[in-house]
Structures are given as structure tokens and as C-alpha cells.
Amino acid sequence: MRDQATFDCYSATNAAMARVLIADDQAHVRDALGLLLKSYGYRTKAVSDPSHVVEALDSEQFDVVLLDMNYERDTTAGGEGLELVSQIRKRDKNLPMIVMTAWGSVELAVEAMQRGASEFVQKPWDNQQLLGKLQAQVDRARALRVAERCREEELREAQEVQHRLLPKELPKVVDYEIAAMTRPAHGLGGDYYDVVRVNERETVIVIADVAGKGLPAALLMSNLQAALKSLLAPRELCRRLNRTLCDITPLGKFVSFFCGVLDSQDNRLVYSNAGHNPPIVVRGPNEAIELNAAGAVLGQFPDWVYEQSEIRLQSGDVLLLFTDGLIDAWNEQEESFGEWNVVQTAQDRKGMPAVQLMESLLAAASKHCGGHFQDDASVVIVKAI
């Protein structure tokens, strides 16, 4: 238990630079609180009306809000104060709020806390009790800011890792046009694609969707990329990746994965699918071929045996590879964009270069969902000239 001198020194030191917004409709209360807090090193701003609280939060940054629950329009029930608590918490999920009222009751305190208040103090207040609770909330706010900066730094690092994993430039393949891009839904995605020219005639094309986001997803992607450095048959690549990922993938995480090896000399695509959305070859105006070769997702069943199939590509064929964020994008009526729209869009724009076709496909999905993709959306287009 600290003595008064120790408490005063501790509070003044730790309160330095902390900003407190005082909201109370009584001038003498605002003045008393302002004098008390300033004597302990706090910087304060006082407002008298609920609307001024919102204006102050719009224009300045505060560490704590010290909020009266009772105002002129509702001096006993605390309705205005409760509504203000809800508004503040909706605007900022972390900003500490200490609510005060001379008409306190257990029910009012409970409801204020349920709406997002951090602490409750009843008037007339005890100075040391108020200062102790205020300092605790300042410490909490600072800890939250530190944690938020750490999360932002982790997000930035994970974004950099993912950016480096995606190909900076797609290889040129004779008699084929290739385009690819990803559109993360929330800044950090779980989608991955790559196109690797192995030799003069063979090119590996992969697309994957890692369950979960963040740095763990980026690390799983790095394992996918490492495995592409040697040419393997698609089913063998799936088998080896699956065994590796089963050893390192956290419980409940997995990877859907499609791998194809394009032989550009005899126009043959050999492929294997590990639980991914089947790619589609759009051929004629009314012909679309799904590339199934279905297998289990990677990272769940270590002894799974994967299938392998092949297809001959013809001049004018368009191979569409995509993640479920594209087809699952839904509108206000919760109608998904769907494979039918993917195929229809590609058929309507088959004459476009691969890059323009890819952009048109993503634009059509974006228009369908009003620009609000619910998940990462990635597309790889391979067009036989």
C-alpha cells in the first residue's frame, strides 16, 4: 500500500502527457475535476453537452473520457449518458471511459458497463479513488496502444512476406498469354498463386487458398513456394506438400491447392487438385470444362493419394483459375457471384487479351458485391493464342 507522497509522485509521473476529456453539465464539477487532474499532471479538456463530446473526439485524441451520466434532458435515469457511452464505444472500441453520476444505482452502473464503460465512480467522489481508477485506465490505454502498434507491425511484416512470395513478373510462354492478380479482402490475404517456367516447354501454374490470415498463412505460403523449385508431377507435388504441411499446419488450418504443368509444345496441361475450386476451360460459346481430379485439402490427411488428369488445350481456349473469394462474393440479397457468372463473363470477353479479361472478371465480381469482397479473390488466366 503506497503512502500519500509515494502515490502523488507515482501518479504525477505516469499521468504526464495523458489527455482526459471531462464531460459534465455542471460548471463547478468541471472546474473541480479540472483542477484536481491538472495538479497531478493530466492535460484536460472540459465540455458541458453530449454533442460537444462527439465534436471533441472528432478533433482531438484522448487517453480517457470522464463522463457524467446525467444531463439536463435526463437528470435522473442516465439515458443521455448511456446513449453517449454507446456512441463512444461504437466509434472507438479501446478508448477507456469512466462514468460518473450522483444518481447512481447498481442497475445504471451495470448497463453502463454492458454498453462499454470501463469504470464507474459515484458522486461525490473520493479524490484518491478517482485518481487510482483514472491512472489504471491510462495504463490500460497505453498498453492497448502498444499492442495495437505491435499488431500493425506484424501485419506490415506479414504483408511484406506475402508480397515477396507472389511473383513480381510472370514468365513469357510461347503461344500463350498469362495474367494473374490477387485482391485481399482485409489487407492481408490467404491466397497464393505462382507461375514458374521450368524449362523451354514446361511451365508450372499453381493457385492456393490458405485457411486463416496473418503471418501463419504467409509462412504456409512460403512452404508452397519452396516446393515449386523442383519439377514434379502434379500428384507427386501434392503428395509431398501434403506430408510437409501435415507436420507443421496448426489444428483446424489447411490449404486448398491446384497445380498444373503446361507443356506448351504439345499444348497439354497435366494437373492435380487438392480440394481447390476446379479451374474451368472456356472453349466455345456454350462449352466450359471443369478440371476436377479431386483430392483432399493439404495439411489434414498425411497418407492421401492424389489423382492426376490432363487436357489438351486448343487455340482460343481460356483457362480460368480462381479462389472462392471470387465466386462467393455476394450482393445485398446474399446472392453469390457464382461460377456461372465467371464462365459467362469469360465467354463474353474471350477476344480480349488475358490481362484485360482478368481485369474485367474482377470488375464484374466487384460490381456484383458492391466492391465489398467477403474473402480474398485471386484469378489466374491462361489463354491459348
Nearest residue to 42 via CA among 61, 25, 63: 63
Q: What is the pLDDT of residues 319-338, one digit of tens each?
A: 999 999 999 999 999 999 99
Q: Nearest-5° angle of CA 43, CA 47, CA 51?
A: 130
Q: How far from the centroid of its chain's Cα atoms is residue 228's Cα? A: 27
pLDDT score for 127: 95
Sheet of 19-23: strand order equals: 43-47, 19-23, 64-68, 97-101, 119-122
What's residue 30's pLDDT?
Answer: 94
Return per-residue pLDDT of the chain as tens, 385 residues: 444 544 444 444 454 579 999 999 899 999 999 999 999 999 999 999 888 998 999 999 999 999 988 776 555 566 888 899 999 999 898 899 999 877 656 677 778 888 999 998 888 899 999 999 999 999 988 888 888 888 778 777 766 766 777 888 999 999 999 999 988 776 666 788 999 998 999 999 999 988 765 555 666 666 666 666 666 899 999 998 888 888 877 777 788 999 999 999 999 999 999 999 999 999 978 899 999 878 999 989 999 999 999 999 999 999 999 999 999 999 999 999 999 999 999 999 989 999 999 999 999 999 999 999 988 899 999 999 9
The pLDDT, as a whole number, for residue 234 is 93
Distance CA 30, CA 64 (A): 15
Tell which CATH architecture fits domain 166-384: 4-Layer Sandwich (3.60)
The single-letter DSSP state of residue 212 is S
Burial class (CB in 10 A: 0-12, 13-18, 19+), 61: exposed
Tell me the residue length of the chain. 385
What's the pLDDT at 7? 44
Cβ atoms 69, 100 nearer than 8 A: yes
- C-alpha to C-alpha distance for 228 and 209, rounded to whole angstroms: 16
**Quick one: the chain helix, strand, coil %, rounded to 5?**
40, 25, 35
The rounded distance, in Å, linking the Cα atoms of 142 and 238 is: 47
Beta carbons of 20 and 43 less than 8 angstroms apart: yes
pLDDT of residue 212: 63
Where in the chain are the domains? 4-153, 166-384
For position 187, what pLDDT does the model report? 61
Q: Helix, strand or coil for residue 198? A: coil
- Interstrand relation of 64-68 and 19-23 (parallel, antiparallel or unpaired): parallel
Going by the DSSP 8-state scheme, the letter that residue 130 receives in this structure is H
Three-state secondary structure readout of 88-128 = HHHHCCCCCEEEEECCCCHHHHHHHHHCCCCEEEECCCCHH
> What is the pLDDT, as a whole number, of residue 292?
80
How far apart (Å, rounded) are the C-alpha atoms in residues 250 and 95?
A: 33
pLDDT computed for residue 375 by the predictor: 87
Architecture of domain 4-153: 3-Layer(aba) Sandwich (3.40)
**Greatest pairwise CA separation for the chain in angstroms:** 88
Decide: helix, strand or coil at residue 346: helix
pLDDT at 247: 84
Output the pLDDT for position 173: 96
**Chain centre distance of CA 363:** 21
pLDDT (0 to 100) of residue 5: 47
The Cα–Cα gap between 339 and 238 comes to: 25
Who contacts 300 (Cβ-Cβ below 8 Å, separation ≥6)? 246, 249, 254
Q: What is the pLDDT of residue 190?
A: 75
Tell me the CA distances in angstroms from 62 to 96, 102, 182, one per residue in order: 9, 24, 38
Hey, what's the cell of 203? 511451365
pTM, entire model: 0.66
